[in-house]
Amino acid sequence: MKDFKDHPPDIFKDVGKITLADAGEEAAALREAVEHHNYLYHVKDQPRISDAAYDRLFRRLQTLEEAFPGLQTPSSPTRKVGAPPVSELRKVRHTAPMLSLDGAIDEKDIGDFDRFIRKNTGRDDIAYVVEPKFDGFSVEVVYRDGTFQYGATRGDGEMGEDISGNLKTVGALPLTLRKGAPSFLAVRGEVYMPRRGFRELNRGRIEAGEEPFANPRNAAAGIMRQLDSRKVADKPMDIVFYEILQQEGGTFTSHWDVLKEFREWGLKTNPGNKYCSSFEEIGRYHGELYEKRDDLDFEIDGVVIKLDDYRLRTDLGARERSPRWAMAWKFPPREEITTLEEIVISVGRTGVLTPLALLEPVDVGGVTVSRATLHNEDEVKRKDVRPGDRVRVARAGDVIPEIVERIADPGRKRGEPFSMPETCPVCGAKVVREGAYAVCPAGLSCPAQLIGGITHYASRNAMNIEGLGRETAKQLVEKGKVRNIADLYRLTISELMDMEGFAEKSATQLHQAIKAGRNPRLDRFLYALGISQVGERTARILARRYGSLAALKEAGIEDLQETPEIGPEIASSVVLFFAEKENRDVLDALSRSGVEVQTLREEGATMPLRGKTFVLTGSLERSSREEAKEKIESLGGRVASSVSKKTDFVVAGADPGSKLENARKLGVRIIDEKEFEEMLSAPNSPS
């Protein structure tokens, strides 16, 4: 076969004068050469040919594929120029949960983490891998037999959105892995925009009269969720990989070894990753990276500390949202000094009045900050800040702006002290006090609370109504089209087209998105209602305990408190919500609009799996993993992502992964799908 890797020709033969067979051989050689030079440039950082020579290879491959369409392949490097737009981003379930990380700024907390690891593993010879914590956009990328299959956003950690077309345009992402990769491989990576590319992109937007992006992370997230990948192909995006989510074929015991293998397979990693065998080494690494963070061409907000030994990781397991074997050591917040111009009041969806400081815009770590939260009246008085004061502003965790302190300015006359208004600035209702907070008692009759309530109801982890964000909710309320959440289901396409920024297509898509969510899971619906003190976790606990909305509506305070993790405050809040006539009227209106909340189990049913932990591995024939998980949770059980000594059962389907071997080593009971189905139907707890 021809070889164009080291000697790209200056001139190629006219495509009109070559046979299909010759064209096929040449195209295969060109693909191999282009992928080879992509690997050298993006992964090894050792380019061997000029940009002009690379472009000749790439354009020649494009020409051949256009002249001989049968030569086109899904994994061809030419797919990096983008594909025709899609109508929407389809949902994808992750191969394994994409957990978040616990984080801390204080060194003491990181020391506590190290002591926790040593105590719970019973080992003193602990090794860690430390990596820069990219401030980017987390994704799952899946390969089968070395070929790119799809890529998805993190989403809620369980389900993301398919952005395969956009990911294919990222130069550093290989569409075909090099030799040695597992037969099935799902990896986690971070898409980001280099600072140099971000500056160039914003310069172009400003020159075109467009609003510049606030920071590289927002730019990357917005661009990667485009429906038209051709609009992504020319953007300066990059990606690094840092974790295996799922694999078939090949086993590993060391994360450091995995990172080295990544590079051999063609997956880019950060060259700043480091193997550390002591807490002192981690501290030095953190300090060095903090000192040079501004010299890097990518945004970071700390370092990630990971236990290197995979067997010990399995022993430690994970919490609901984060692994016990990893932690983020974040950098102190960036700070700058500016002028506090005015203090205004924001009314949230729960009615709490929050003072906000409007600031003279200032650049804090590459982000323009023009406002900051002051939390409550007591906080304003404690910091003694007033309009006209010079203040020190920080981005807490490099994300949320806050005022750290007032800068003394002797001799300058200061503004009037702040005091909370006696009436709601939005609806005029008399404000009431609840502890340290001032609250508008008007509920959903207050437009600000209604807008917040609709936005929350439609949010991703609630009803997940695509296209219904805060600005749309604001228009719906201000134009009088929606007076409570039930009104959403009575909206027509023509009513939506009346709103600014909506045409027939976008109005139709929103209308369909609203209608599509008429059969929500009970836990999502409870969270969507915005009941005070009922977050996602509490909503899941209540859904598993009661099984249906009807049963929960009739629950009393004492009955609720019998549920683990439900204390008197949450119980009281739930009872008060369902006792309020306005809320019951809205629930009735939702029912009349066709909203049917899924029942998790029959009322009065027992919970035979209460206290039992399951791990699922391999493919199940009778149900999907998500269906199996919901069955377990509806009967009181818990599903974990990894096998540990606390695991009660491992359910093994076809082609199980390494979890099966881990279960055998730990002596965990292994059951097949038939035993699992029998267990679900058994009237008593399994043993």
Q: Which two tokens stand for residue 522?
A: 């009970």
Which one of 1.10.3470.10, 3.90.1150.10, 3.30.470.30, 3.20.20.70 gives the CATH number of domain 103-330?
3.30.470.30
Tell which wins on pLDDT, 634 or 550. Answer: 550
- 533-548 pLDDT, tens digit per residue, is 898 888 988 998 888 9
Mean pLDDT of 556-584: 88
Q: What 8-state DSSP symbol labels residue 254?
A: B
Q: Position 17: which residue type?
A: K
Q: 334-411+426-433 belongs to which homologous superfamily?
A: Nucleic acid-binding proteins (2.40.50.140)
Q: What 8-state DSSP symbol labels residue 362?
A: E
pLDDT at 601 over 70: no
Q: What is the pLDDT of residue 423?
A: 94
Q: Which of the four pLDDT bands, split at 50, 70 and 90, describes residue 230? A: confident
Highest mean pLDDT (candidates 37-51, 60-74, 140-154, 670-684): 140-154
Domain ranges of the chain: 15-72, 103-330, 334-411+426-433, 443-516, 522-592, 613-681
Closest CA to 397 of 602, 180, 104: 104
Catalytic residue among 133, 306, 383, 631: 133
Tell which wins on pLDDT, 511 or 136. Answer: 511
According to CATH, the topology of domain 15-72 is: Helix Hairpins (1.10.287)
pLDDT at 603 over 50: no
Closest CA to 174 of 266, 258, 242, 51: 266
Beta strand 159-161 pairing with 147-153: unpaired
pLDDT at 208 over 70: no
Q: Which two tokens stand for residue 283?
A: 């501290």
Q: Whole-angstrom Cα distance, residue 505 to residue 510? A: 9
Q: Which of the four pLDDT bands, split at 50, 70 and 90, describes residue 524? A: very high
- 320-339 pLDDT, tens digit per residue, is 778 999 999 998 877 889 99
Mean pLDDT of 589-603: 82
Q: What is the pLDDT of residue 602?
A: 46
Q: Which of the four pLDDT bands, split at 50, 70 and 90, describes residue 604? A: very low
Residue 445, classified by CB atoms within 10 Å of its CB into exposed (0-12), middle (13-18) or buried (19+), is: middle
pLDDT at 35 over 70: yes
Closest CA to 597 of 527, 493, 513: 527
Q: Whole-angstrom Cα distance, residue 42 to residue 44? A: 6
Contact criterion met (CB below 8 Å) for 200 and 164:
no
Radius of gyration of the chain (CA): 28
pLDDT at 177 over 70: yes
Q: What is the pLDDT of residue 207?
A: 64
Number of H-type helices and E-type strands within the chain: 23, 22
Which one of 3.40.50.720, 1.10.150.20, 1.10.3720.10, 1.20.120.1200 gives the CATH number of domain 443-516?
1.10.150.20
pLDDT at 594 over 50: yes
Q: CATH second-level architecture of 613-681?
A: 3-Layer(aba) Sandwich (3.40)
According to CATH, the topology of domain 522-592 is: DNA polymerase; domain 1 (1.10.150)
pLDDT at 605 over 60: no
pLDDT at 687 over 90: no
658-660-664 Cα angle (round to 5): 120
585-597 core/surface letters (b: 16 or more CB in 10 A; e: else): ebbebbeebebeb
154-163, 237-246, 564-573, 674-683: the lowest-pLDDT one? 674-683
Collect all residues with Cβ–Cβ distance below 8 Å to 397 and sequence separation of at least 6. Answer: 103, 105, 301, 330, 333
pLDDT at 37 over 90: no
Mean pLDDT of 493-507: 92
Q: How many residues comprise the chain? A: 687
Topology agreement, domain 522-592 and domain 613-681: no
Please provide the average confidence, as pLDDT, over all residues in the chain: 86
Is residue 381 among the annotated active site residues?
no
Q: What is the pLDDT of residue 396?
A: 63
CA dihedral over 548, 549, 553, 554, signed as positive or negative: negative
Global pTM value: 0.56
φ, ψ (nearest 5 deg) of residue 540: -65, -40
